Amino acid sequence: MADPSNVQAIEDVELMTKCVVQTFVSTPSDITKAIEKYYKHATDNGARPEDGNGPERRPGKGSG
């Protein structure tokens, strides 16, 4: 998200994903590098993480 201090957006993502969201600040180029690194296998076959073919999503601490 563009604004990591947007509490409403954070709560919306937590509600939709049932995960705890931790926000961080980074440069756009570092974010792009991280996406390429951690989602490389998904982009190799044309899949996108939101297609359900990305890394397994794990609930955050405290989510039952």
Q: What angle do CA 20, 63, 60 make, to 5 degrees?
A: 35
Query: Which pLDDT score, from 0 to 100, does residue 40 have?
Result: 83
Contacts of 21 (CB under 8 A, 6+ apart): 10, 13, 14, 60
Q: Where are the alpha helices (DSSP H) in the chain?
A: 7-17, 28-38, 40-44
pTM across the whole model: 0.50
Q: What is the pLDDT of residues 18-49, one digit of tens each?
A: 999 999 999 999 999 999 999 887 756 655 55
Query: Which pLDDT score, from 0 to 100, does residue 1 have?
Result: 79
Instruction: Give CA–CA dist 64/60, Å, rounded.
Output: 9
Tally of CB atoms within 10 A around 19? 15
Q: Return the domain boundaries, the chain.
A: 7-50
